[in-house]
């Protein structure tokens, strides 16, 4: 394949379980996802996941050069095949990677993946993400290979269903950095980091987001109310580090372990027994994340947890727990460095709170400006040598 010699993930997300509403099936539906490619290459392969499904799912899929938000160049359409078959069946708990699709890709091209579910299909395996590079569409009917999607039958979606990772056959110098976390990382900052890299370099790095809203390091929920919060870190991390060409991971995780427990008298699914000590959080990160990442040869960076003052379960003891855990993240020598998101976004006059312009209003998630500041903090840590030790 010419000058291109290795596979590297160019786009990727975690896969969790879709919010368990009263409707969990679809029929005669097209999904379309335009994806920005950060590398040039001569082939792609695409991984789909039914990791949280409880029954087989069947669909067809294709990819093409994107020409707009939801339009494609129909002359470039390639069927996505699996062992030579266009009919993809994913068993419960299964992930499958497609056959190699030969096509010339230039950095900043849009590769659009379209999927069609003809028959009743359980839509469990999905993840909700946001950001300037993260958008999808669904459309009633079979429009998989059509240039555009019908305006009156189409809506935007932030749910990425079944689609997990796109690898590109690319140059040897290219590599992937994984951003691992919860809703903070499932939202905009990894996209803003990708855009800064696109503008300023280094141009041999992809940002692969592995994030699930509501997820915790040490615990997971066993109820349909919180099913979308996904599995605990011990189970998530090894699966999500399965990322071609990755050599680095930045971990920003743990705030939900701290803010969720409220007692069964308030919420039957959130007992006080779930509240960890800072030492337990550190042990979880060390045992579940650092040990596994180091075994894979990954360089690991920490990301501190953000302020929570004003959040609906905020209390001083939670601040104390968060601050102790953040202090460990800043000083643990097994990390190559620390992206100090807390320091970057907090109010200098009230350190347990966001600076007002960085607060989305819920006092837990950043504003647009806050996510851009997180991206800048991560960039300086990862690529400017300001977060190293």
The C-alpha atoms of residue 379 and residue 389 are separated, in whole angstroms, by: 16
Structural domain includes residue 292: yes
Cβ atoms of 301 and 382 within 8 Å: the answer is yes
User: What integer pLDDT is reported at residue 87 of this predicted model?
Assistant: 94
Residues 134, 32, single domain; the answer is: yes
Of the candidates 326, 328, 250, the residue with the CA atom closest to the CA atom of residue 293: 250
Residues 60, 182, single domain; the answer is: no
User: What integer pLDDT is reported at residue 288 of this predicted model?
Assistant: 97
Cβ-in-10-Å burial (0-12, 13-18, 19+) of 359 comes to buried
DSSP state of 366: B
Of the candidates 389, 31, 3, 387, the residue with the CA atom closest to the CA atom of residue 177: 387
Structural domain includes residue 19: yes
User: What integer pLDDT is reported at residue 23 of this predicted model?
Assistant: 81
The C-alpha atoms of residue 216 and residue 245 are separated, in whole angstroms, by: 26
167, 183, 201 — which closes off a domain? 167
Give just the sign of the alpha carbon dihedral 267, 351, 339, 281. Answer: negative
Q: For the chain, how far is it from start to end, CA to CA, in angstroms?
A: 39
CA distances from 247 to 174, 291, 338 (A): 10, 15, 16
Domain that holds residue 84: 15-167
The C-alpha atoms of residue 168 and residue 6 are separated, in whole angstroms, by: 8
User: What integer pLDDT is reported at residue 387 of this predicted model?
Assistant: 60
Beta bridge partners of 154: 139
What SS3 state is found at 157?
strand
Element (H, E) at 388: none
What SS3 state is found at 287?
helix
Residues 147, 198, single domain; the answer is: no
Of the candidates 91, 89, 105, 90, the residue with the CA atom closest to the CA atom of residue 44: 105
Cβ atoms of 121 and 57 within 8 Å: the answer is yes
Residues 179, 261, single domain; the answer is: yes
137, 167, 197 — which closes off a domain? 167
SS3 content of the chain, % helix, strand, coil (to 5): 25, 35, 40
Structural domain includes residue 1: no
150, 167, 184 — which closes off a domain? 167
Cβ atoms of 58 and 92 within 8 Å: the answer is no
Residues 193, 155, single domain; the answer is: no
Residues 125, 262, single domain; the answer is: no
Residues 157, 227, single domain; the answer is: no
User: What integer pLDDT is reported at residue 389 of this predicted model?
Assistant: 52
CA distances from 355 to 89, 174, 183, 345, 369 (A): 48, 36, 19, 6, 11
Residues 365, 346, single domain; the answer is: yes
Residues 178, 42, single domain; the answer is: no
User: What integer pLDDT is reported at residue 386 of this predicted model?
Assistant: 60
User: What integer pLDDT is reported at residue 1 of this predicted model?
Assistant: 45
Structural domain includes residue 9: no
Q: 106 φ, ψ to 5°? A: -110, 145
Helices vs. strands in the chain: H and E counts, helices first: 9, 24
Q: Cα dihedral angle (261, 262, 263, 265), rounded to 10 degrees?
A: -150
Domains contained in the chain, number? 2
Structural domain includes residue 2: no
Structural domain includes residue 126: yes
Structural domain includes residue 389: no
Residues 157, 229, single domain; the answer is: no
Q: Where are the beta strands (DSSP E) in 182-225?
A: 205-211
Beta bridge partners of 16: 126
CATH number, domain of 290, equals 3.40.50.1110
pTM, to two decimals: 0.96
Structural domain includes residue 35: yes
> Which pair of structure tokens corresponds to residue 261?
């427990």
Residues 107, 206, single domain; the answer is: no
The C-alpha atoms of residue 97 and residue 7 are separated, in whole angstroms, by: 13
Element (H, E) at 185: helix 183-186
> Which pair of structure tokens corresponds to residue 37?
């490619």
> Which pair of structure tokens corresponds to residue 286?
């060390």
Whole-number CA gyration radius for the chain: 21
| Averaged pLDDT in 10-residue chunks for the chain of 389 residues | 86 93 91 97 98 96 94 98 96 97 96 98 96 97 98 97 98 97 98 97 97 97 94 97 98 98 97 98 98 98 98 98 98 98 98 98 98 98 74
User: What integer pLDDT is reported at residue 19 of this predicted model?
Assistant: 87
Residues 186, 227, single domain; the answer is: yes
Cβ atoms of 209 and 129 within 8 Å: the answer is yes
């Amino acid at each position: 394949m010419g000058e291109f010699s290795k596979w590297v993930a160019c786009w990727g997300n975690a896969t969790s379980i879709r919010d368990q509403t009263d409707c969990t099936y679809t029929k005669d539906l097209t999904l379309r996802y335009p994806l920005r490619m950060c590398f040039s290459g001569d082939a792609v392969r695409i991984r789909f996941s039914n990791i949280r499904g409880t029954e087989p799912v069947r669909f067809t899929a294709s990819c093409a050069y994107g020409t707009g938000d939801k339009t494609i160049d129909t002359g470039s359409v390639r069927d996505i095949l699996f062992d030579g078959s266009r009919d993809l069946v994913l068993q419960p708990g299964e992930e499958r990677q497609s056959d190699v699709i030969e096509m010339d890709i230039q950095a900043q091209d849009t590769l659009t993946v379209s999927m069609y579910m003809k028959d009743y299909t359980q839509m469990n395996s999905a993840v909700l993400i946001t950001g300037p590079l993260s958008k999808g569409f669904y459309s009633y009917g079979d429009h998989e290979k059509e240039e555009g999607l019908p305006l009156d039958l189409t809506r935007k979606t932030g749910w990425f269903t079944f689609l997990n990772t796109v690898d590109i056959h690319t140059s040897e110098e290219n590599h992937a950095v994984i951003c691992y976390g919860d809703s903070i990382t499932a939202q905009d900052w990894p996209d803003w980091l990708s855009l800064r890299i696109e503008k300023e370099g280094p141009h041999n790095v992809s940002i692969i987001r592995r994030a699930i809203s509501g997820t915790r390091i040490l615990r997971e929920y066993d109820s349909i109310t919180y099913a979308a919060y996904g599995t605990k870190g011990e189970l998530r991390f090894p699966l999500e580090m399965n990322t071609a060409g990755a050599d680095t991971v930045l971990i920003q995780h743990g705030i939900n372990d701290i803010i969720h427990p409220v007692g069964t008298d308030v919420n039957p699914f959130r007992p006080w027994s779930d509240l960890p000590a800072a030492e337990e959080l550190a042990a979880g990160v060390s045992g579940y994340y650092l040990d596994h990442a180091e075994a894979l040869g990954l360089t690991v960076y920490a990301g501190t947890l953000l302020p929570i003052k004003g959040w609906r379960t905020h209390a001083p003891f939670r601040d104390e727990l968060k601050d102790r855990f953040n202090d460990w993240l800043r000083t643990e020598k097994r990390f190559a460095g620390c992206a100090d998101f807390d320091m970057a976004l907090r109010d200098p006059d009230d350190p347990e709170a966001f600076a007002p312009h960085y607060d989305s209003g819920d006092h837990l998630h950043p504003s647009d400006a806050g996510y851009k500041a997180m991206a800048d903090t991560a960039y300086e840590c990862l690529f400017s040598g300001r977060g190293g030790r």
